[in-house]
Amino acid sequence: MKKLISAMACVSLFMSVFMMSARAEGIKAGKWSITSSYKTGDIPPEYAANLKMMENMTPEMKQMMDKTMKEVFKKRGMELQSIDFQSMSMTIAQCLTQQAPIPFSMSEYCQETHEINGNVVHFKMTCGNSQTASETTGSLTFNGDVMEGEMISDARFMNQALHSISKISGQYVGPCTP
């Protein structure tokens, strides 16, 4: 159970780095399918062990973790469509608007600043609590039904550093339904 909690903490950091909020012009309001693919540098042994453990979970543990993660995302207005720990990618669906064009931060510990130039959002997000800290910078570009971008993150979790570069891609799906 301790390993599962540690793995969930690792996933929580993964998700908090992935999520942010911003305002921009020219964003097509509606439901978007958004994928983040992470490329990390050297993975600390603790992270590698947690990722390996997640790959080898029993079907029951995978089902429990999937259910828990979907509930966490749902509380934040998102639908977790898929997560792949081996390839370090995650896909969510979320309604985006002119006022909230990007998935929002999942942590009340984040401070964000944004610069908006037309359909391009440049951002910096700093998150932290007693066990984790991260700083993420990047930009997202919206062009009609497509969104693309990149985030560069430096995180610290349980005194272990992790550097990652995330490629973000999104596709407009259709109108949002209540």
**Domain boundaries in the chain?**
2-174
Q: Which of these ranges, 14-28, 55-69, 139-153, 162-176, has the smallest mean pLDDT?
A: 14-28
Q: What share of the chain is helix, strand, coil (3-state, %, to 5)?
A: 25, 45, 30
Please answer whether residues 21 and 105 qualify as being in contact, where contact means their C-beta atoms are separated by less than 8 angstroms. Answer: yes
Beta carbons of 60 and 10 less than 8 angstroms apart:
no
What share of the chain in percent tops pLDDT 70? 74
pLDDT category, 173, cuts 50, 70, 90?
A: very high
The pLDDT of 17-30, averaged and rounded, is: 54
pLDDT band at residue 34 using 50, 70 and 90 as cut-offs: very high
pLDDT at position 83, please?
Answer: 82
Q: How confident is the model at residue 148 (pLDDT cuts 50, 70, 90)?
A: very high
Task: Categorize the per-residue pLDDT at 75 as very low, low, confident or very high, splitting at 50, 70 and 90.
Answer: confident
